Structure 1
Amino acid sequence: MRRQTATSGFNPAGSSRALRLDPLSLPVRFDAHDIRADGGVRQIELHRERVVLRRAVHGMQMAVNVRVSDFLGVGLRGIDDAQMLVLAHRDPSLTIPLCVSSDRDEIAAAWRMWSDIFALPQLPEDKLRQPAARRRRHNAIRTRRPKFLVRRRAGHLLNPANIHQGEREIIARN
């Protein structure tokens, strides 16, 4: 795997470099800020067809493998005086930072390029904030008959068609 030198939210002291990944040199591996992970860092492997997120939470190592097609798109966020491109996911903890810059032309070109490489739509800032669709609350299976009863025909005891010819109906009385 070819690796790209990566910069993340944790730049060395005195560094003025912002996060900029080159979409033409994938795959890339870099570290990103994660407040829930041990040490506040998670490792990200970014490929054309998948993303692997590695982090440790309370000493438990985990790796999450997500297909690029599962992401919503390449989104644009405004932060202070700069803008940030992210690979947006329905789950905010799986959102991946791609580029940070204060140059609007550079961000627009990178936005278009990342969108073309991943074949995902470009999402403006207002589309990133929409909540996920609500799940259905009703259970379709609850009203069905159990499997062993499905094979049986439902019938009525007092239906005259159920009484055979020549037989009398027995009625018990006290």
Structure 2
Amino acid sequence: MRRQTTTSGVNPAGSSRDLRLDPLSLPVSFAARDSRADGGVRQIELHRERVILRRAVHGMRMAINVRVSEFIGVAVRDTAEGRALVLLHRDPSLAIPLLVTEDAGERAAARQIWSEILALPQLADDKRDPAPRRRRSNAIRERRPSFLVRRRSGDLLNPAAIYRGEHEIIARN
């Protein structure tokens, strides 16, 4: 039997308790915020080998079963609740919060434990500035358009370029 909250949120109204999962007591089942799901909540079951996400979208209930090995790693991210330790997936909608706290020491210790238990790497913090965008080289940018390829480029400042051999080029209107 799952525990249900009185409101549609993760914690009851007025609760100041942050999300803290114990990595040593797996499997664990909990509710997390999901902006796309009906009611804004999804149910998550976290095991050592797999994760099951249950949610309803537009009245359609679904259960998504994902292997833990398919996750990228454990990272610290900014969320609506604050700084959170997250089990990160390539699909951002499958990311799972593990711990929400402002205490950096607690996050670092939990990050180490979660990384060891799930056998996933610890990813870099996203608080750093992103790298500048790389300018892409475009081979076509420096080409002449196809209709100009057939024409020879001329030099208007050099009158000798007008004459070709002994014949003068005459343009008629």
> Does the alignment reach a TM-score above 0.5?
yes
Q: How many residues align?
A: 127
Tell whether 2:72 aligns with 1:78. no
For residue 14 of structure 1, report the CA deviation from its aligned partner: 2.2
For 2:60, the aligned partner's letter is M
CA change 1:31–1:79 in 2 (3 A) is: closer
Query: Unmatched 5+ residue regions in structure 2?
Result: 132-173
* Overall identity of the aligned pairs, in %: 68
Contact 1:50 1:66 in 2 (8 A): yes
Q: Contact 1:38/1:58 (CA < 8 Å) preserved in 2?
A: yes
Superposition deviation, residue 22 in structure 1 = 0.3
Unpaired runs of 5+ residues, structure 1, are 131-174
C-alpha contact 2:85 2:99 (8 A) present in aligned 1:
yes
Residue in 2 that maps onto 1:65: 65
Q: Distance in 2 between matches of 1:126 and 1:18?
A: 21
- Alignment check: 8 A CA contact 1:84 1:101 kept: yes
TM-score, length of structure 1 as denominator length: 0.65
Deviation of 1:4 (Å): 9.7
| Secondary structure of 1:76 counterpart | strand
| Aligned CA distance change for structure 1 residues 47 and 78 (closer, same or farther; 3 Å) | same
Query: 5 Å matches for 1:7-26?
Result: 10-26=10-26
The within-5 A match list for 1:26-37 is 26-37=26-37
TM-score, structure 2 normalization: 0.66
**1:25–1:90 Cα change, 3 Å:** same
Alpha-carbon distance in structure 1 between the residues aligned to 2:81 and 2:64: 32
Between the aligned partners of 2:36 and 2:59, the Cα distance in structure 1 is 12
Q: CA RMSD in A?
A: 2.9
